[in-house]
Structure 1
Amino acid sequence: MLRDLGTLDGPVLLFGGPYSNSDALEALMRAAGKAGIPPGQMICTGDAVAYCAAPSETVDMLRDAGICVVAGNCEKQLASGADNCGCGFDEGSACELLSGSWYSYAAARIDPEQRAWMASCPDVTVFEHQGARYAVIHGGMTDVARFIWPDSLDAVFAEEWAAVEAAVGAVDHVIAGHSGIPFIRETGAGRWINAGVIGMPPHDGRQQTRYAVLEGGEVLIHKLSYDVTAAAARMAEAGLVQGYDRALLSGYWPSEDVLPPSLRLPSLARG
């Protein structure tokens, strides 16, 4: 499914992975308001629902605001009634084992109307900004849950770019998410932009999460501060204490299984 937003002339706020973290989404909406960016100029790369404790509230906030949300693997899985998140974690990995708890929690709290909204989210969104055409996807075009990293092979970017253009025509830049690590990669075809996620820190030992603003053809990645203590307390109250609650506070993911070796941290860095 394709959604064409036409021409967006003003600044465009790009973000991914609210992850059921309503406290972070509230903070993002406040930041957008202060910057004079309306919801119609905000685009989410998907996974509205995941690790944290407010799945229904987070979905309603996005819907009520009218923010364009590209379908992530979580939207697709919840919309279809699947019994797992489809995140692309290796079978038997810590991430795969941990996903069972938060996914079942979220699935029990998303109602049919919210699932229908998820089913209506586009697979890819396109828009024009400052004379350039952008495509927005979740992970990869060939696989919604494909992990693409800042140091992925050139061939990976080339394959995904070709798949995007086969679906929507020529684009100058691609915006994607899923990996949870913000980066901008210059490829032979244009920039591959990952704005990061707002619901979980990028495994850097800090509580702040990330989003990006596209303005005047340039992209700046910003840090988002929010009430982390409240978000972690919600998770504790909900019984979601398998590690992601601590990640909000420590800034480190509970497992590095999904990360390529180049992005894993020395154990001493995490105490």
Structure 2
Amino acid sequence: MTVRGSVLRIGEPVERLAVLSDVHANVPALEAVLAEPDVHAADLVLFCGDLTWGPEPVRTVELVRALGPRAVFVRGNADRAVLELAAGDRAAATPREAWMLARHPVDAVAFLAGFHFGVVVEVAGLGPVRCCHGSPRADTELVTPATPAARMAALSAGVPERILVGGHTHLQFDRTVGGLRSVNPGSVGLPYHDGAPGTAYWALLGPDVSLRRSRYDVRLALAATADAGDPKADTITDLLTSPPSVAGLTAHAEGLEFSD
């Protein structure tokens, strides 16, 4: 389990915060979300981790860098894995890990190194919001719509913010349990959902939480995965066209609690 790391606190309150998570270098999905008027108009665009672990990391970095200072980044477990592989602190355990490292040039690795374990933003109408990848205590913690109150209390111990926004499970939800509001914007690039293929999920915060979705041409994402030579192209294709159900994934994740 990865413990708490650096937390960035944004000094100025914002009216609108767009939150995108788990892009997984799915460029067609990312482009569709970035083209949304409410994302374009947001004061900040916050990425909740696992940005580049997918077929087109270089193009993904180009797109988010174009947002300039409006973009803020949380480090996910996949982003951390790239850094560990590049530093030699982690041996490639699978052909896909070796392939993934080769897809990340030095400049992309350096970009990921600037991400934060957590970010706290004051959002109009909501107050202070803590954004992380898994949870405030681990980037591998699986938080779902069914996570019990006792574990929510444990994972938020010592955290003053009462609104937590995280990714990692690729499930979109907004729930309140034990006085803690838990929000997952869903995954932009590899969602687990009951909707149609070619749907990217995200959220807009301020003055409340608005769960959003954007449509894109999933055939472009499937072609990019195949063209990149992803060793798990068949698996990614299945996930994009026939993902696990929300109920099934929730039950599986709650049985694990932590997963890298």
> Same fold per TM (> 0.5)?
yes
- Pick the aligned partner of 1:138 from 133, 140, 148: 133
- Which consecutive segments of 4 or more residues in structure 1 shift more than 4 A? 82-85, 256-259
Partner of 1:70: 74
Contact kept, 8 Å, 2:48 with 2:167, in 1: the verdict is yes
Instruction: Give the AA of the match of 1:68.
Output: V
| Separation (CA, whole Å) in 2 of partners of 1:211 and 1:238 | 25
Query: 1:215 deviation in Å?
Result: 2.1
Q: Which runs of 5+ in 1 are unaligned?
A: 86-98, 264-271
- 2:190 corresponds, among 200, 206, 229, to 200
Range with bigger deviation, 37-46 or 52-61: 37-46
Local SS of the residue matching 1:120: coil
TM-score, length-scaled by structure 2 = 0.83
Aligned residues: percent identity? 23
- How does the TM-score come out when normalised to structure 1? 0.79
Q: What are the ranges of 5 or more consecutive residues in structure 2 without an aligned counterpart?
A: 1-5, 255-260
Residue 48 (1) aligns with residue 54 (2): no
What's the CA shift string for 1:138-193, capped at 9, x where partnerless?
10222211111110111111111115x1xxxx213111110000111202233111
Structure 2 letter corresponding to 1:59:
V
How big is the shift at 1:2? 1.8
Classify the secondary structure of the residue corresponding to 2:156: helix
Other structure's SS at 1:246 match = helix
What pairs with 1:148-167 in structure 2 (closer than 5 Å)?
148-163=143-158, 165=159
Aligned to 2:211: 221
Preserved contact between residue 175 and residue 193 of structure 1 (Cα < 8 Å)? yes
Mapped pair 1:236 → 2:226:
yes
Q: 1:232 to 1:36 in 2, by over 3 A?
A: closer
SS at match of 1:58: helix
Cα offset, 1:123, TM superposition = 0.7
Letter in structure 2 aligned against 1:145:
T
Contact 1:11 1:37 in 2 (8 A): no
Pick the aligned partner of 2:251 from 236, 260, 265: 260
Question: How many residues were matched structurally?
Answer: 240
1:36, 1:211 → 2: CA distance?
Answer: 10
Question: Is residue 61 of structure 1 aligned with residue 53 of structure 2?
Answer: no
- Alignment CA distance shift 1:130-1:257 (3 Å): closer
1:26–1:126: structure 2 CA closer, same or farther, 3 Å change rule? Answer: same
* Structure 2 counterpart SS, 1:7: coil
